[in-house]
Every structure is written in C-alpha cells, then in structure tokens.
Amino acid sequence: MFELCAAPSKYDSSVGGVRAGDDVVRLFAGATAVLARCAAERKGTFASTAFAAASSTTEPQFARRCLQQLPVQGGGTVGELFTYTQIYPGSKGRQHFPALQRESGVPYSSMIFFDDCTYGDNCGDVARLCTGALCVRTPDGLTEERFQAALDAFALGQVGVL
C-alpha cells in the first residue's frame, strides 16, 4: 500500500481493480478463486468459519478501502467476507494474531494463516508465538492448490509451518 502513488479511489471493472492514481490494486488470480470458493461455501463447508485479514501496512486506510471495494465472484466484497481485521503496522505473531484470538475467541489451533511475505518470516513468527496455528507460505500469492493443501493439512491436525 505504501507504494501507491495516491489513495485508492474506486473499483474500476474495466481494469479489474481499485484505482489509486495511476496504480491499480488487484487480487492474484488464485486468491480471487479461493475467495469466491469461500463466499460460495459460506452456508456449507465454511458455515462455521470466520475469515480474517491481518496486514502490517503503514497505510491501513488504503488497505481497508481496497478490501471494501474489491468484489468477490458471486456477490459482495472481500471486506464483507472478513469478520475480523487487524490492519496496522505491527508483528503478525506478537500483535495481529493475539488480537485476532482475543477478538474472535477462536483458539490458535483452529486458525490457518496464509502469508505471501518474501522479505521476512511471518509464518515462522506466528508458528513460534501462536502455538497451534497452521501457517502456509504463499510467496507467489495464494493459489487454489495451496489453499486445498492447507485444508487437508488442517484436517489432519498439522500445526506449524506448511
């Protein structure tokens, strides 16, 4: 978000993203598909699932604006899909996840964390400090395959970094 040349303004379907000056914020294709699946299965497979977002951006208002405008296939926005958000500068393991746990009441052992960070080890941080969480590195962005692998590992009781 800090690299944007301006504040996000509005979703533009002609470019498939939220315009921010000359920049456009878009979801990865895999993330688009995964979010569509999550939204479509809200009354089925994911009926008892709370979705959350954690971001250590220095521009939290930019991130929130994008989440509220990026559409999810089938209706609604990415922001509407998330029940909880922790969006502010800070550590995933020391701040964001403990705050999500306190706010939601969901134990770490019932959480899956996907992270595309390539300049730090957020997954290692969460795995060490939030015992029981399953953490999934997605350095090339979230894909349907990584999402399914995480669901399979979670079903088997795997914790730590996948």
The span from the CA of 133 to the CA of 100, in Å, is 12
Q: Is residue 5 part of a domain?
A: no
Is residue 121, in this structure, part of any structural domain at all? yes
What is the pLDDT averaged over residues 6-14? 93
Could you tell me if residue 156 is inside a domain?
Answer: yes
- Write the CA distances from 158 to 54, 74, 115, 135, 161, integer angstroms: 21, 31, 17, 10, 9
What is the C-alpha to C-alpha distance for residues 142 and 162, in angstroms, rounded to an integer?
Answer: 13
- Taking only the tens place, the pLDDT of each residue in 84-130 is 999 999 999 999 999 999 999 999 999 999 999 888 899 999 999 99
Count of domains forming the chain: 1
Question: Has residue 4 been placed in a domain?
Answer: no
Please tell me the pTM assigned to this model: 0.90
User: Domain range spanning residue 141?
Assistant: 11-42+49-161
Q: Does residue 140 sit within a domain?
A: yes
Residue 2 lies in a domain: no
Note whether residue 1 is domain-resident: no
**What is d(CA 40, CA 34) in angstroms, rounded to the nearest whole number?**
10
Residue 3, domain member (yes or no) = no
Say what percent of the chain tops pLDDT 90.
86
Distance of CA 3 to the CA centre of its chain: 19
Residue 121 sits in a domain whose CATH number is 3.40.50.1000
Distance (Å, whole) CA 134 – CA 113? 6
Residue 44 has pLDDT above 70, yes or no: yes
